[in-house]
Amino acid sequence: MSVVPAEVLPGGARAVTGTVRATVTAELGPRARLWPSLVAVYRAQLSRARVARIPLLFVATFQSVGILIMMRGVVDGGSEAESVVAGSAVLVVAFVALNLLAQYFGQLRASGGLDHYATLPVPPAAVVLGAAGAYASFTVPGTLVTAVFGCVLFGLPLTHLWVLAAVIPLAGAALSGLGAAFGLLAPRPELATVLGQLGMSAALLLGVLPPDRMPEAVRFARDLLPSTYGVEAFARTFGADPDWALVLGDLAVCAGVGVVSLAVATWAYRRAAVR
């Protein structure tokens, strides 16, 4: 068993001040399996989000709908309209899965909430994946409303909206991993909030604005943002004859980035939980 730091209190008593180590948890009982633990965390986080995050979901949806209305006065149609509609829909995912998740984990770390999870026989991956999945699921209604409104506003077909069933979880996984990593690695919750806001602003500027009008350097930065691949996958489906190979390629990039970002978030959780 690892040594737990202690400090001397008045009267000679000694009190534990460090976080309980994972080795202590292991001695108290066997760890639960990943899948049941993930489902339990997912349900708990989703229930919490329904109560505490509905107003913020409304804000995220209203923000994206407002951007669509504003861009309608600038963009007439064609590929630019497709980019605007797709980018505004994925922006709802970025607002919730990246921005709010960064704030949540930042506050959880600052308040000592990670100590609770550290004492439970729950794999670290289950905590990160469960919270990320809940926040990504929470974006579904707002994303659908934004996509339908944008298609009607710009006269785009609604035929392939079903592709959002793949875009939302894959883009959500990539952005949720980044948001969780921001919150867990930032030394202060205020910095986690700033990082989440910057990430959402990048998703707004690089995902919603048509790429054809961007400078080459900005396009390169756009290629580094994982949510833009979800935007591209969705935007490609508006054409009369979508190139499904390219759509699948963009979704594959989202999936790959999602695996990496969630792995980094899991590592960051382990690092923060044992401090």
pLDDT, one tens digit per residue, over 237-248 is 998 889 999 999
Q: Looking at the whole model, is its pTM more than 0.85?
A: no
Q: Is residue 18 part of a domain?
A: no
Q: For the purposes of burial, counting CB atoms within 10 Å of the CB of 133, is it exposed (0-12), middle (13-18) or buried (19 or more)?
A: buried
Q: Is residue 24 part of a domain?
A: no
Q: Compute the C-alpha angle 194/55/192, nearest 5°.
A: 15
Which residue in 49, 41, 237, 70 sits closest to 141, CA to CA? Answer: 49
Rounded mean pLDDT, 209-234: 87
C-alpha–C-alpha distance, residues 127 and 131, integer Å: 6
Cβ(132)–Cβ(174) below 8 Å: no
- Greater model confidence, 247 or 99: 247
The helix (run of H) or strand (run of E) holding residue 197 is helix 189-208
Please give the tally of structural domains in the chain: 1
pLDDT at 192 over 70: yes
- Greater model confidence, 257 or 26: 257
Q: Is residue 51 part of a domain?
A: yes
Q: Compute the C-alpha angle 147/97/260, nearest 5°.
A: 115
pLDDT digits (tens, 9 = 90+) for 174-184: 999 999 999 99
Range of the domain at 251: 34-273
Q: Is residue 19 part of a domain?
A: no
Q: Is residue 259 part of a domain?
A: yes
Q: Is residue 13 part of a domain?
A: no
Q: In Å, what is the CA distance from 184 to each residue of 108, 177, 210, 213?
A: 9, 11, 33, 36
Given the structure tokens 């980018």, which residue do they identify?
87
Write down how long the chain is.
Answer: 275
Out of 34-48, 51-65, 85-99, the most confident range is 85-99
Q: Is residue 4 part of a domain?
A: no
Least confident of 42-46, 159-163, 194-198: 42-46
Q: Is residue 113 part of a domain?
A: yes
